[in-house]
Amino acid sequence: MLNTQFFEKMSAKLSDAVASGPAKDFEKNARALLAQGFSKLDLVTREEYEVQQQRLEKLEARITALETKQ
């Protein structure tokens, strides 16, 4: 019969190896690279976008109201 304790220990060791090995380093490097790339882009936050969208909707409503008066 197979010893389940053996497989549990091996699984734990493999998990530890992955967490401290090249995969973890790759994740750190990938995150740093993406963060650096995003910082160079001219991006806005979701909140800033929504504020501008609300302002645009108000301006569109005003323009429509002014156009209907004429």
Dihedrals phi, psi of 42, to nearest 5 degrees: -90, 80
Domains held by the chain: number? 1
Q: How far apart are CA 30 and CA 33, in angstroms?
A: 5
Tell me the residue type at 40. Answer: K
**Structure confidence at residue 2 (pLDDT):** 53
Query: Over the chain, what is the mean pLDDT?
Result: 83
Mean pLDDT along residues 34-55:
89
Rg (the chain; Cα; Å):
27
Instruction: Say if residue 37's pLDDT is above 70.
Output: yes
41: domain range? Answer: 4-69
Instruction: Name residues whose C-beta falls within 8 Å of residue 44's C-beta, 6 or more positions apart in sequence.
Output: 52
**Structure confidence at residue 1 (pLDDT):** 45
